[in-house]
Structure 1
């Protein structure tokens, strides 16, 4: 079964009604205790986030990042839960990444796929291919701000502890889908934590 079909049938799922992309929301995907444990791991190892191409804007992505170790029991449990829910092959998954957004930090409008004609396309995609699905989970709720806005469909999703978002970065023909453009909006008060797992066309490594 294709991932989009599987998610459409999943318990508690909401499919965003747009013909432009496959975007799904599942509230309460993981519990508060699981979220707290992952936040602690992020805080222990976070570093300034980077981006393949910031277009010359040093403030394009101002968050902090942590690569989570799949050998840690909490991370391994999360990986298993995501795979069981989505049906995505774990071999295609990149390592889970955690992000922390402090007050005033954001990730401006971007896509998760690598531009096919971009200077670094072969560097990032030669082995494992293009990114296909993104699975993102909010670990907490900042006091204000920090929503995720999908600009081309006018959909803004508010952070809620344990809420999962999943979307396909590609069109049915396998080409990249520019309608997945999204903005990790500025945190106006408090702190936002998320985890993200990206999947590829071929096994990761």
Structure 2
């Protein structure tokens, strides 16, 4: 979303907020609460660049507070944009690098998203709680075991531990999407021969069994896969439609989205996890929804 494309009233509101010393985080938070979608963060960044705060304004990193903004009836479902020249992104203690970007489908690989100790802590927190991974039956809506997905997994509620809360806040800052739109953090383990054959992360609305999962939080719009371990052999994340393979690298994160601002699903996002041939593979997955996802399901 570009600043120049916004309504004049909203452009003026942003300029006034910046002139008044509001921080980037405060401005973005106010817009998200007013109904705008994460892509608005890109416009805010452009506004700060072209209309920087006056020298005598309070620090844009320190100023807090709240603001009132015009509401938006039809928000876009987009994320912050990245390109090969983005360089390092400061996310607190982590200095994240953009390794590559692809526009169609929208894919970004980040290096150094998690520290080694964070990866190891997530693995140890999860090891004794793994159960066989299931998939949604698109015809009946039931979660069931299938030979196409042979990993084991567990999950953590939003903010369940300080570490989980910190990682979720980091995801929100990186992608420009509020953490309230995230499903529980999934930890997945792939031993030798385990795989997840090519599939889509979104739910096809034409399938009757998907109506129940779509009713809670709306459509999935993006996925962040965080690699918690290196893999001795195999275990790549593959996108067969575009011939892309991403080998797990401990601490790296792979993001991809699959729905346009107009709600069109991107079938180029077909992806899978190839079989582990030697060693083991650990990942953490965060699936993001178009609307708020409840912390506790009924």
Specify every segment of 5 or more residues in structure 2 that has no aligned partner in the other structure, as ranges.
1-40, 43-77, 89-96
Tell me: CA distance 1:42–1:7, structure 2 relative to 1, closer, same or farther (3 Å): farther
Q: What corresponds to 1:58 in structure 2? A: 146
TM-superposed deviation, 1:28: 1.5
Matched with 2:105 is 21
Distance in 1 (CA, whole Å) between partners of 2:79 and 2:228 is: 24
**Structure 1 residue 84 and structure 2 residue 168: aligned?**
no
Q: Distance between the aligned counterparts of 2:285 and 2:177, measured in 1? A: 14
What do you get for the CA RMSD once the two structures are aligned? 1.9
Equivalent residues in 2 for 1:183-202, closer than 5 Å:
183-202=272-291
Q: What's the counterpart of residue 155 of structure 1?
A: 244
Check whether the contact 2:134–2:146 (CA below 8 A) recurs between aligned residues. no
1:7: how far off?
A: 3.4
Distance 1:165 1:80, change over 3 A: same
| Distance of 2:99 and 2:112 partners within structure 1 | 12
Task: Provide the rounded CA distance (Å) in 2 between the counterparts of 1:124 and 1:53.
Answer: 11
Q: 1:173 Cα deviation (Å)?
A: 2.3
Q: Which runs of 5+ in 1 are unaligned?
A: none
Q: Take 1:118 and 1:160, find their aligned partners in 2: how far apart are those partners? A: 35
**Aligned with 2:135: secondary structure?**
coil
User: CA separation of 1:95/1:116 partners in 2, compared to 1, >3 Å: closer, same or farther?
Assistant: same
- Deviation, 1:5, is 4.1
Contact 2:80 2:175 in 1 (8 A): no
The size of the alignment, in residue pairs, is: 204
1:51-200 to 2 correspondence within 5 Å?
Answer: 51-53=135-137, 58-69=146-157, 70-200=159-289
**Distance between the aligned counterparts of 1:61 and 1:203, measured in 2?**
27
In 2, distance between residues paired with 1:116 and 1:190? 38
Contact 1:94 1:198 in 2 (8 A): yes
Name the CA distance, whole Å, in 2 between partners of 1:139 and 1:114. 26
Name the CA distance, whole Å, in 2 between partners of 1:124 and 1:64.
21
Deviation of residue 110 (structure 1)? Answer: 0.5
Q: Quote the Cα distance in structure 1 between the aligned partners of 2:156 and 2:125.
A: 7
TM-score (norm 2): 0.65
Q: Determine the C-alpha separation between the residues in 1 that align with 2:131 and 2:163.
A: 20
Task: Tell me if structure 1 keeps the 8 A contact 2:82–2:101.
Answer: no
Displacement, 1:196? 0.5
